[in-house]
Amino acid sequence: MKPVEIADTVMNLNRLTVPKVDVGQIRNTAHAVEKFYILCSAIELEVFDDLRNPKNAMHLAEDLGLHQGMTQKLCAALVASDFLRMNHEGKYALTDLAKTFLVTSSPLYQGDHIKLMKKRREEMASKLSEAIKNGPSGMRTSSGDLGIFDQNFTISMAQYALGGCLQRTVEFLKTNDDFMKARRSLDLGGGHGLYSIAFSRLNPELEAVVFDLPSVIEGFTREMVSICDCNVKLLSGYMTKDDIGSDYDVVFVSEVLYDPKESINVILKKINNSLKEGGILISKHFHQDDIHEDLVAVFSDLMFSMVSGDRHGIYSTSELCHLIESNGFSVVRIEDIRSTSNPSRIIIAKKVSEQPE
Ligand SMILES: C[S@@+](CC[C@H](N)C(=O)[O-])C[C@H]1O[C@@H](n2cnc3c(N)ncnc32)[C@H](O)[C@@H]1O
């Protein structure tokens, strides 16, 4: 915009009416980014851990070796963001939200997930306009995976699951007879193994198998399963080409079926063949049904497409059901387990016919 155009607006009283739409919707988008970076700094600097005992900003700065004036401003911003509150003694204290999710000793700690969100968003933001102009550059390795599934990713996914979707999934599956009667299950792309560990606690007769990439299984998953000392077996390989086992009553697949349809068909056929007759597939994924209600799925679809290099597919419920049914299943139930930050649904489908490999 040129100065002459600005001058024209300000000189013309007819144009100086209050706008009918609120510019705040745009500005607040930028403030949400600030709020996220403020949260990330507080996690990196261990502010929440130190504030398990309430204190003023000066003592917080002394404990952590921080600049006093800046620490005072950070605390004010954290109060404004509802991560801290001022207690009756005028000291900064944790809110319930911070106590539950932002203190490293909390079982529901989200800090590693938040750090990875920051890293990924920074990488993607720097390449977004370029990718939209010229297409995504992609990051697939020679084995066909995305090359992002390292220990940090697995820990981040574990924390993400503990943020609520693991609990919501368990609550729902408790009510499912087929699941509760199952004796052998597969958690395909099960990563951290938390779903299978929880399933084996829920159904003590169940032998739960977690399948994932060798580097994931031999690292985090093996350690987690040995700490939990539960009836969970481990299997490693590439799900599109290696043996995923057989004779399962249930195959659970969560946050995995986001590839283009051709790859999903390969995986669904393998799932079908690994199930006993009448066995069930439990799919838990982000769905994109309503562009406003499922905006986390819409954003994720755009962002992850940049990483996957080809069309990353967060499917609608009907598209995913269609893919599932065209691979020898009949959908028997769809359950909405969405929360404000998680647009997931569960689809339960029964195997109705064998599939040629
Ligand atoms: C987004 S994570 C989902 C983890 C877990 N199911 C959950 O919902 O929290 C995707 C998982 O699939 C695994 N994975 C990706 N490509 C794979 C492949 N080709 N073969 C086996 N596992 C794969 C990753 O290692 C990762 O653990």
Alpha helices in 177-282 (DSSP H): 177-181, 194-202, 214-216, 222-228, 261-274
When pLDDT is cut at 50, 70 and 90, the band that residue 146 belongs to is: low
Q: What is the pLDDT of residue 8?
A: 86
User: From the alpha carbon of 149, which atom of ligand 1 is closest?
Assistant: 25
The three-state secondary structure class of 5 is helix
In the reported structure, the alpha carbon of residue 284 is separated from the centroid of ligand 1 by a whole-number distance in angstroms of 13
Of 255, 257, 270, 286, the one to substitute when testing ligand 1's pocket (max ligand atoms within 8 A of C-beta) is 255
Of 43-47, 170-174, 341-345, which range is least confident? 341-345
Q: Return residue ranges of the chain for CATH 1.10.10.10.
A: 3-99
Is the pLDDT score of 311 beyond 70? no
Q: Which residues line ligand 1 (CB under 6 A)?
A: 145, 149, 157, 161, 189-191, 212-213, 216, 238-240, 254-256
* Model pTM score: 0.93
Question: Hey, what CATH class is 164-351 in?
Answer: alpha beta
- C-alpha angle with apex 148: 261 to 235, nearest 5 degrees? 75
Give me the CATH topology for the region 3-99.
Answer: Arc Repressor Mutant, subunit A (1.10.10)
Q: Which amino acid is at 356?
A: P
Q: Please, what is the average pLDDT of the chain?
A: 93
Closest C-alpha residue for ligand 1 atom 14: 189
- Pick from 61, 56, 60, 54: which is nearest to 98 by CA? 54
Q: Return residue ranges of the chain for CATH 3.40.50.150.
A: 164-351
- Pick from 46, 78, 76, 85: which is nearest to 64 by CA? 46
When pLDDT is cut at 50, 70 and 90, the band that residue 337 belongs to is: very high
User: From the alpha carbon of 242, which atom of ligand 1 is closest?
Assistant: 20
In the reported structure, the alpha carbon of residue 331 is separated from the centroid of ligand 1 by a whole-number distance in angstroms of 23
